[in-house]
Structure 1
Amino acid sequence: MVRDLGRLDLGKMGKMARFDQMNPPNRHIQTLEGPSLVELHRYSAKQMGQGYDRPREFKIMSALRDLIITAGVAAGVVTMALSGQAALAFDGTPTQTKPLSLEAISPSEALRYGARQYYSGDKAGALNSLRYAAENGQPMAAWKLGEMYASGDGVKEDDLKAFEYYSQIVREHGDDRPEAPDAPFVASAFVALGNYYLNGISDAVPQNVARARQIFTHAASYFGDPQAQYELGRLYQDSSSRMAVRWYNLAALKGHVGAQARLGETLFTQGHDDERKARGLMWLTIAHRRAHGQDSGWINALHEQYFGLASEAIRGRARAMADTWIDHNPAAVMTASTPALQ
């Protein structure tokens, strides 16, 4: 059983979330214990009422691309440091230098070097570099390690290790500002933790839907994360169509394809007039046009189902509204449907 080493305390939050800094012996493992759902909903409603939940594109992959570009600049210096190549004296003869370890470079340099190793195919080497960077306060490194362990990418798949790395990010960076460069990775870690609580980890993390909802609510309202908003919509789908529509709509406006499809489905099925049904079919049409990869199957099937139920007048109205929305929201159209966790 994973020990409960910290708690998400939104009840004492001002503009920023605060977390207990307990510095446990195992710096990775930390589960989250939050306030009641009433407190969370009150906080969420207050923030959204102030216009706090503003559209923002998920920038994880662009940040990783920037990291690789920066890594190329520093690659020569770091490679020499790590490989122990001899330096040249003033007279041109080699001097004897002691090979340097990871501790000889900064955590940010280790992160860049680890990224370069990963994308060049040296995942074993990347693992060591990223571990050092993660242990020394680099949330992007901890996030990448979590992704690697969650999917078995270059390592043996281990959900508990992934859970621990995501928990480390939340513990150490959960109070970062939403505008911070690493905020997308922090938000992604919240979503990953929420999904682990939603489904549980055998013999380690018990399933806890209420806690998952709390974590998703924080990521959705404080960070404005579209994936978290989508997950909340799914959780409310069967119990409150009004709340489901609220969260789906926020994610759909940011370009989340899955949220666009589910929003369309909910609006169409709950629609009592042609205008509402047309708006539902509009979102389904937008999602249908943008769907790709593993999402395309269920989204296309959903669109075909409700397109067949609509009258020709509703179909025409939906197509026109979809065209208008896409023309006026190019940034959202370019946004990935979900965080690109590559």
Structure 2
Amino acid sequence: MDKTGHRQIGIVVVMASLMIGSGVGRPARAFDITTDVPKESGRFDLFRFGFKAYQNGDKEKAVEAYRYAAEKGHTGSRWALANMYAYGDGVPENDYEAFKAYAEIVNHDVEPGSPDTGFYVNALLALAGYYQTGIAGTPVEVDLVQARQLYFQAASVFGSPEAQFRLARMILNGEGGAKNVRLAKKWLNLARKNGNVGAMAVFGDLVFNEGQPVLGLAYLTMAADRCAPGDCSWIRELQEKCFSVVDENDRRGAIALAQNMSTSNP
């Protein structure tokens, strides 16, 4: 998987944020992870065992427990296995195995707001990313139309800000369908309002080039102030490019406006 631009998030951190409703928050018997994986246990107990083993650094047992739980239909375990294969975390990196695990999640529809929603949306994003790049030596070929459709599903049905941003960029570049700057701008603005910093930067660049330099630079300045380390390079490059072609009054106006907007919309 081409992970450039697709931020890798540690499984422990993401898993903790997706646990609610997946069984980990429920009272459960204490597991001794020094023993063998209790494969006859129910899927939620196996999931808890795997997560505890992962947290304690025993990824071999985590993988085994997740596999048993996945075979019994546990979505969170499928997602954990997919991520481990995607990033070579405790297993040899294998994008095709990851793709198949993500696809298995997506093949089982979920209702927005259900306990498995977070896993489902993450799987949609991962599959779309694979379709954007393809997986060499496997049946998974580049399919930009499919990637765009998956991003649209995650963006519209589930309201994912990251999907809204990625969809907007595909529309802006005419990938997987017609180029439509106005439509791309709408998705960017929605993603920006939902907290996506990358969308704020690209939206600001569009506004700047449409003849609103102060407003565009203000968005770029806020994005540069809020960006995560993996995104700061390209965002600051955009900001510096725009700053270099305006006069001092516009620069000062943009900085002041950015401060005002940050105060009113922290």
TM > 0.5 fold call: yes
Q: Is the 8 A contact 2:21 2:115 kept in 1?
A: no
Q: How does 1:10-159 map to 2 (within 5 A)?
A: 60=14, 62-64=16-18, 70=24, 74=28, 76=30, 78-79=31-32, 83=35, 101-103=38-40, 105-159=41-95
Cα deviations by residue, 1:81-140 (Å, 9 ceiling, x for unpaired)? x837xxxxxxxxxxxxxxx8322x221111111111111111111001111222222222
**Structure 1 alignment gaps of length 5 or more:** 1-58, 85-99, 331-342
Give the partner amino acid of 1:161. Answer: E
Distance in 2 (alpha carbons) for counterparts of 1:187 and 1:212? 13
Secondary structure, aligned partner of 1:282: helix
Q: 1:124 to 1:62 in 2, by over 3 A?
A: closer
CA distance in 2, matches of 1:69, 1:227: 26
Distance 1:178 1:278 in 2: 38
Q: Tell me if 1:223 matches 2:128.
A: no
Deviations 1:257-309 (Å, cap 9, x if unpaired)?
A: 2111111112212x13xxx3222112111110012322111112221111222
Contact 1:67 1:112 in 2 (8 A): no
Question: Separation in 2 of the partners of 1:228 and 1:263?
Answer: 15
Q: Where in structure 2 are the equivalents of 1:302-321 lying within 5 Å?
A: 302-321=238-257
| In the alignment, structure 1 residue 210 sits paired with structure 2 residue 184 | no
The CA deviation at 1:65 is 7.1
Assess if the C-alpha contact under 8 Å between 1:200 and 1:208 holds in 2: yes
Tell me the secondary structure at the aligned position of residue 233 of structure 2: helix
Residues 230 and 259 in structure 1, CA contact (< 8 A), matched pair in contact too: yes
Amino acid at match of 1:107: R
Q: Deviations over 1:192-241 (max 9, x none)?
A: 11111111112311111111111111111000111111111111223222
Give distance in 2, aligned partners of 1:161 and 1:207: 17
Aligned to 2:186: 246
Q: Distance in 2 between matches of 1:152 and 1:171?
A: 24
Change (3 A) 1:75 1:306: farther
- For each residue in 1:167-196, what CA deviation from the matched residue of structure 2 results, as whole angstroms up to 9, or x when unmatched? 111112x2x222223212211110111111
Contact 1:229 1:250 in 2 (8 A): yes
Work out the CA distance in 2 between the residues paired with 1:182 and 1:311. Answer: 51
State how far apart, in whole Å, the 1-side matches of 2:226 and 2:35 are. Answer: 46
Question: Measured at CA, do residues 253 and 319 of structure 1 come closer, stay the same or move farther in structure 2, by a change above 3 Å?
Answer: same
- The one-letter code of the counterpart of 1:325 is M
CA 1:110–1:189 in 2, change beyond 3 Å: closer, same or farther?
same
Structure 2 unaligned blocks of 5 or more: 1-12, 174-178
Give % identity. Answer: 36
8 Å Cα contact 1:68-1:116 kept in structure 2 = no
Q: 1:133 to 1:327 in 2, by over 3 A?
A: farther
Shift of 1:69: 11
Closer, same or farther: CA 66–307 of 1 in aligned 2, 3 Å: same
Q: Report the TM-score when normalising by structure 1.
A: 0.66
CA distance in 1, matches of 2:89, 2:14: 18
- Counterpart contact for 1:60–1:185, Cα < 8 Å: no
* Cα distance in 1 for residues equivalent to 2:23 and 2:255: 41
Secondary structure in 2 matching 1:309:
coil
**Residue 304 to residue 165, structure 1, CA distance change in 2 (3 Å):** same
Q: Residue 185 of structure 1 aligns with which residue?
A: 119
TM-score (norm 2): 0.84
SS in 1 for 2:114: coil
Summarize the Cα distance change of 1:212–1:246 in structure 2 as closer, same or farther, 3 Å threshold.
Answer: same
